[in-house]
Amino acid sequence: MPKPEHAPGYVPNAAYTQADWDAVSDNPALTDAELGQARRGTDGMPPAMAAAFRRGGRPRSESRKVPVTIRLDAEIVEAFKATGPGWQTRMNDALRRAACDLDAA
């Protein structure tokens, strides 16, 4: 089985043992009766929660995004990336403002 992928920035830390994790866990152990009532998937969920899980994915956007391939100056891309997470959205907003300026001209 392949090794699971971790979130960006994850660093394994051998300093923590299972006993350490157990000491800080606030989840009580399940009883045999609770385990017997457990259902897989959405079967045991309230209807609204089950519907949200079945729907899955991101909420639909009001404006549809179109995947494109574009070649930009490296300095432009790096400047946007340097602003941190959400840089693609900020780039989209800058392009939208530029398009509005073109329409106004």
Is the pTM higher than 0.85? The answer reads: no
Q: Which residue has the higher pLDDT, 73 or 4?
A: 73
pLDDT tens, position by position, 57-104 = 777 778 888 999 999 999 999 999 999 999 999 999 999 999 999 888
Per-residue pLDDT at 71: 96
Alpha carbon distance 70, 64 (integer Å): 18
- Boundaries of every domain in the chain: 74-104
Per-residue pLDDT at 43: 83
Q: How far is CA 100 from CA 70, 93, 96, in A?
A: 20, 11, 6
Mean pLDDT of the chain: 84
Percent of all residues in the chain with a pLDDT value above 70, rounded to a whole number = 90
3-state secondary structure of 75: helix
- Tokens encoding 48: 């609204």
Contact 35, 28 (CB under 8 A): no
Per-residue pLDDT at 4: 60
